[in-house]
Homo-oligomer: A and B are copies of this chain.
Amino acid sequence: MSYDAAGYPPFAVTVDLVALTVRDEALQVLLVTRGEEPFAGVRALPGGFVREGEGLLAAAERELAEETGLHAGTGAGRAHLEQLATYGEPDRDPRMRVVSVAHLALAPSLPEPRPGGDAAAAAWLVVDEALAGPLAFDHAAILRDGVERARAKLEYTSLATAFCTPEFTVSRLRRVYEIVWGTPLDPRNFHRKVTSTPGFLEDTGRTVADGPGRPAALFRAGATTTLHPPFLREG
Chain A residues with a Cβ under 8 A of chain B: 1-4, 8-14, 16, 32, 34-36, 44-56, 83, 85-90, 95, 97-101, 118, 136-137, 156, 228-230, 232, 234-235
B-chain residues with CB within 8 Å of residue A45 when the two chains form the complex: 1
Contact residues in B for A86 (Cβ distance below 8 Å): 56, 83, 86, 101
CA distance A32 to B53 in the complex (A): 28
Count of identical protomers in the assembly: 2
Main SS at interface, chain A: loop
Cβ–Cβ contact B10 & A55, under 8 A: no
A69 to chain B: closest CB distance in Å?
A: 18
**Looking at the complex, which one of B97, B98, B230 makes contact with A230 (CB distance below 8 Å)?**
B230
CB neighbours of A55 from chain B (8 A): 88-90
Within the complex, which residue of B1, B13, B100, B228 is in contact with A232, where a contact is CB–CB below 8 Å? B228
Check A12 against B2 for contact (C-beta < 8 Å): no
Contact with A35, one of B2, B89, B101, B229 (Cβ below 8 angstroms): B2
Report whether B97 and A49 are in contact in the complex, using a CB–CB cutoff of 8 Å: no
Cβ-defined partner of A1 (8 Å) among B1, B8, B85, B136: B136
CB distance from A160 to the nearest CB of B (A): 18
Q: Which residues of the other chain, B, contact A228 by a CB distance below 8 angstroms?
A: 232, 234-235
List B contacts of A1 (CB < 8 A): 14, 16, 34, 44-48, 98, 100, 136-137
B2 contacts A48, CB within 8 Å?
yes
In the assembled complex, which residues on chain B have CB atoms less than 8 Å from the CB atom of A85? Answer: 83
